Structure 1
Amino acid sequence: MLTRRSTILGLLGMAAALPAAGAIAESAAAPIRIRVASVISSAWLPLWVARDKGLFLEKGLDVEVMTVQNLSTTIGALGRQLDISGATAIDIVKAAAGGLDVVGVCGNTLETAANRQMRLIASNQSGVTSTGQLTGKTIGTPSINGVVHIATLLALKRSGVDPKSVRFIEMMFTNMADQLKAQRVDAVEEVEPFVSALNKAGHVDLGDPMLQVGDPITLTCWMANGTWARANPEPVTRFVAALEEARAYIAGYEVEAREILAKWTRLPKDVIESIVLPTYSTALTPRHVSAWIDAMRETGQLSAELNPSSLVLK
């Protein structure tokens, strides 16, 4: 354990950059409790690694992890039942457009052409082989006007399909395979680890709509109530530092990290081994958020004037 921890700290330069972490470890002060929410997806592996490997505790944090079905439902609980929640830039933009004080505290995953996590997947029984053939079809989505949905709307529009001609049905990622098999939908907006399973089952990969927004583009991030985040800069800094160490641990000890992924997702070993892990990054800047603001405007999903700089914790 000490060898692994030293390796991680060496990769990050954390020993020199965060002297406070050492003081925290040596002190007898009670850890600061933080309530954090995420969904079951390989995107949130850094959270689980930081929790299971004791990285949060080393930073003086007692992190309680809550699992939810849809991250968009956590916004109203921020600053009350929750302190920090997994999110997408879309969640932050929509909340701000609605007058809520929500900020992004750090990034989590990036979507890149070299490492795609999202796909638009068509049923192998639908006859659909391209995005341009989805006129009049039914698509399963995790959340109407969520991040993957906005990307799909953008891809449809740029492929010559009127998004209004497409019917969207909300469903959980875990149910999408069954819905395709039952032919209740013609395609689904899916993410890893479920993309790998659908591809293995022979369904049709229509590409990654996320790359219509940008490459690279922020896929997931972490958000908090703005008032809480500004009043608690030290716990936020420690939280981000622990996630950064977790990111380095995943890069250096992928086998062990996948064991943690199996524990939290309860997916079979063969599925866990086939999953393409996301590109993890704690970076989050106004530019990352601005790309999604532009995508929402192009798809007609945003009319409010927003300043991206005010949506990211400084």
Structure 2
Amino acid sequence: MAALLMLAAGCGTAQEAPSGAKGGLEQVTIAAPPAAGSLSVIVGIKKGIFKRNGLNVKWVSSGNLSVLAPSLGRQFDLVTSSPVELILARSRGLDLVAVQGSRREVADDPLVSVVAAPDSGITSMKNLEGRTVGSPDVASTLALALKGALKNAGAKPDDVDLKQVNFPDGPNQLKAGQVDAVVTTEPFATLMESAGGVKVGSVIMDAFPHQSSVALVTWAATKGWADDHPETLKKLAKANSEINDWIKGHEGEVRQLMVSELHLPESVAAGVPIPVVDPSLGVKDFEPWLELVGALDALHGRSVPSAKELLGVPQ
């Protein structure tokens, strides 16, 4: 999503060659953000899980899919994306597909939220009417989910002024009064709450109140790369299943990685929800998003792709 913009400190560079052999391992270059949702990549590299599965994974800085799409298959192989970004890309004729799930937003412990300024008087989604809200994207995943959440809360989405504010800039923009609230994720939500910010909604789950979990982050590739690398995708799926198991059993070490790799204060890392990593991905994961995109006319008359067109893995 457009929110995935921070530079990955200590990562590989975007100029490194994508898929190839190195030391007997298959090299795969992944563009992913240094935020809580990227812990699976961090764990896989730091704990040698990718290498145990025959992969030498390099982590590069990331941006949104529309910016990165031309470089897929050349500067890197995979990019973290979202169902909405893929829907938008396919509707514009880009031959991109989701090849694996990465992170799910869960109702019991959501990561994406709206945090309002301490003195804004905003205590609910309904209160956002007539206000300026910062969001890392203003026409993609988070913006559409916010509009869905506002609609469900009885608010008028068009009465909210959306301003593009990337995750890292949210705390300063909120403090400076440039926005009344921001759409954010961890660790930034916890940082803003510790400074008096008020969490007023969970955005994704508020947009889909009848879902217990929603696919939020996927790994995307060109369809050509996906078709040419079925064995690589099997290795990645196996590695990510092992990563998820490791994360579940090593919460303390996961939080240490948040401090060492994401540079969070220990007090913040201690309270950040642990992301749910799930490499599985199917038609059903795109259906809620396709319904939301249609309800909000987000494609502006362009053809709506089918869920099957969005998937680059056999079902």
Q: Sort the TM-score into its range (normalised by shorter chain).
A: 0.7 to 0.9
Deviation by residue 1:259-298 (Cα, 9 ceiling, x = unmatched): 2222221111111111111222112111101111111111
Q: Out of 238, 244, 255, which is 2:235 matched to?
A: 238
Deviation by residue 1:100-137 (Cα, 9 ceiling, x = unmatched): 11111111111122111111111112111111122221
Q: 2:133 matched to 1:134?
A: no
Contact 1:39 1:71 in 2 (8 A): no
- Shifted more, 287-296 versus 211-220: the winner is 211-220
Residue matched to 1:277: 274
TM-score, L = length of structure 1: 0.87
Matches of 1:205 and 1:151 in 2, distance apart?
16
Contact 1:115 1:279 in 2 (8 A): no
Matches of 1:272 and 1:71 in 2, distance apart?
28
Q: 2:244 matched to 1:250?
A: no
C-alpha distance 305-69 of structure 1, shift in aligned 2 (>3 A): closer
Deviation by residue 1:158-177 (Cα, 9 ceiling, x = unmatched): 33333222221112211101
TM-score, L = length of structure 2: 0.86
> 1:53-132, aligned counterparts within 5 Å?
53-70=47-64, 72-132=66-126
Matches of 1:99 and 1:252 in 2, distance apart?
42
Matches of 1:29 and 1:121 in 2, distance apart?
46
Cα offset for 1:73?
A: 2.7
Q: 2:42 matched to 1:48?
A: yes
Name the SS of the counterpart of 2:38 in structure 1: helix
Contact 1:119 1:207 in 2 (8 A): yes
The alignment's C-alpha RMSD in Å is 1.7
Q: Out of 174, 179, 182, which is 1:180 matched to?
A: 174
Matches of 2:143 and 2:260 in 1, distance apart?
29
Deviation by residue 1:209-239 (Cα, 9 ceiling, x = unmatched): 2112333111111111111111111111112
Name the SS of the counterpart of 2:270 in structure 1: helix
> 1:139-154, aligned counterparts within 5 Å?
139-154=133-148
Q: Name segments (4+ residues, structure 1) moved above 6 Å.
A: none
Name the SS of the counterpart of 1:206 in structure 2: strand
Cα offset for 1:29?
A: 6.6
Q: Out of 271, 284, 287, which is 1:287 matched to?
A: 284
Matches of 2:142 and 2:262 in 1, distance apart?
21
Contact 1:108 1:220 in 2 (8 A): yes
Matches of 1:137 and 1:262 in 2, distance apart?
34
Name the SS of the counterpart of 1:274 in structure 2: coil
Question: 1:92 corresponds to which letter in structure 2?
Answer: L
Q: 2:257 matched to 1:260?
A: yes
| Higher normalized helix content (fraction of residues) | 1
Matches of 1:255 and 1:164 in 2, distance apart?
43
Deviation by residue 1:8-28 (Cα, 9 ceiling, x = unmatched): xxxxxxxxxxxxxxxxxxxx9
